[in-house]
Amino acid sequence: MLEKIKKFFSKEIKEIGDLKNLEQLRVKYLGRKSELTQILRSLKNFSIEKRRKIGPQAQKLKKEIEIILTKKLKELKAKNSKLKVDIDITRPGEKIKLGHIHPLTKIEEEIRQIFLSMNFSVVEGPEVENEHYNFDALNIPPNHPARDMWDTFWLKTQTNTDYTQIDTEGLYKSVSSQYKSMLLRTHTSPVQIRYMETHNPPFQIIVPGRVFRYEAIDASHEINFYQLEGLIVGENVSLANFKSVIEEFFRKLFGNKIEFRFRPSYFPFVEPGLEVDIKLGKDWLEIMGAGMVHRKVFDAVRYNPNEVRGIAFGVGIDRLAMIKYNIPDIRLFYNGDLRFIKQF
């Protein structure tokens, strides 16, 4: 009897294709009037042996049928919901959220393009530097008061073990521990040294990069900011070249309504040293340090100071961005406020 029910059920369930028929099948096999229910109900009339035999079998079959029905129900529902996705093709699409280029990235890219158009190469260098490149080779020896111009983040390093470095001729040389101290570069000028050690003039490069200063933070000072270094070295390089390059650069960046002032100044790695001021509105702004590369710098990279001349300049990228986009506070670049970033 139970075998027969099972056999017929198995056959019929295969032919079910919709929910209505499935429900009918359920009633037929598990409903009050179904054969199986009748059997279960009438168990009490059977002898105890028969009851013990048929009872568990009938219960088991009921469970099996229930499981199969539930499975089928799920299948049919899934199929139905797939068929019934109603698409409203007139509904406006959701706006895709776009990222924003950071203003510093944006202006750096623009600066790169301007210098590339003037045939400069773009070079980069490490943010973790040693004392030699950041200071000594730039004519800022230990204990020189000029070091005070750059408040420095010094890094803890092992002491006493001298390290080996490849020198300009490709020979290994031991570097005395005086040069060993590591720091976060305070300017992009050390890349001048690194580049000259590995290249011969003539060349003209710019070096954009991140720099660090151990300073109190305020609206115009950050412990971390960006600079752009420039270096032109060749036989007949002069301040006249510098003037034309830099005026062209600022005109391309800020437009033609700009005035320039070149003032004498001091930086250990240039002689003479100067500062560039620009006037866009009514005020003069100090914008850039520059000068003719000091012969001691050429000595440090083993160029002959009597054969080559160079001009070098350094400018703060943050400051250029603040002027160009009229941003009052340098800290806005770094606090991650999306209301600020989204304006660019």
Which sequence positions are flagged as catalytic? 150, 187, 213, 227, 270, 312
Tracing tokens 């070079």 back to the chain, one arrives at 123
Binding residues with ligand DAH: total (CB under 6 A): 11
Task: Report in angstroms how near the CB of residue 282 gets to ligand DAH at its nearest.
Answer: 26
Q: Give 65 or 237: the residue with its C-beta nearer to ligand DAH.
A: 237
Task: Report in angstroms how near the CB of residue 226 gets to ligand DAH at its nearest.
Answer: 11
Q: Give 29 or 250: the residue with its C-beta nearer to ligand DAH.
A: 250
How far is the C-alpha of 144 from the C-alpha of 127, rounded, in Å?
23
Q: Give 196 or 270: the residue with its C-beta nearer to ligand DAH.
A: 270
Task: Report in angstroms how near the CB of residue 220 gets to ligand DAH at its nearest.
Answer: 14
Q: 23: which 2 tokens?
A: 């429900």
Cross-strand bridge partners of residue 209: 227
* Residue at shortest CB range from ligand DAH: 314
Name the residue among 190, 191, 146, 193 with its Cα closest to residue 298: 193
313 counts as binding ligand DAH under rule CB under 6 A: yes
Contact criterion met (CB below 8 Å) for 211 and 185: yes
**Footprint (CB under 6 A) of ligand DAH, residues 184-243:** 187, 189, 229
Contact mark string toward ligand DAH, 147..186, x via CB under 6 A: ----------------------------------------
Task: Report in angstroms how near the CB of residue 268 gets to ligand DAH at its nearest.
Answer: 9
Task: Report in angstroms how near the CB of residue 312 gets to ligand DAH at its nearest.
Answer: 3
How far is the C-alpha of 194 from the C-alpha of 137, rounded, in Å?
10
**How many angstroms separate the Cα of 170 from the Cα of each of 124, 197, 198?**
21, 10, 10
Q: Give 16 or 315: the residue with its C-beta nearer to ligand DAH.
A: 315
Find the helix or strand (DSSP H, E) in which 164 lies.
strand 163-166
In b/e form, how buried is each residue of 177-193, taking b as 16+ CB within 10 angstroms? eebbbebbbbbbbbbbb
Q: 200: which 2 tokens?
A: 């011969």
DSSP state of 218: B
Phi, psi of 268 (to 5 degrees): -60, -25
Task: Report in angstroms how near the CB of residue 178 gets to ligand DAH at its nearest.
Answer: 22
Q: Give 226 or 313: the residue with its C-beta nearer to ligand DAH.
A: 313
Q: Give 36 or 184: the residue with its C-beta nearer to ligand DAH.
A: 184
Cross-strand bridge partners of residue 284: 279
Q: Are strands 121-122 and 309-316 parallel, antiparallel or unpaired?
A: unpaired
**Footprint (CB under 6 A) of ligand DAH, residues 253-312:** 267, 270, 289-291, 312
Applying CB under 6 A, the residues found at the interface with ligand DAH are: 187, 189, 229, 267, 270, 289-291, 312-314
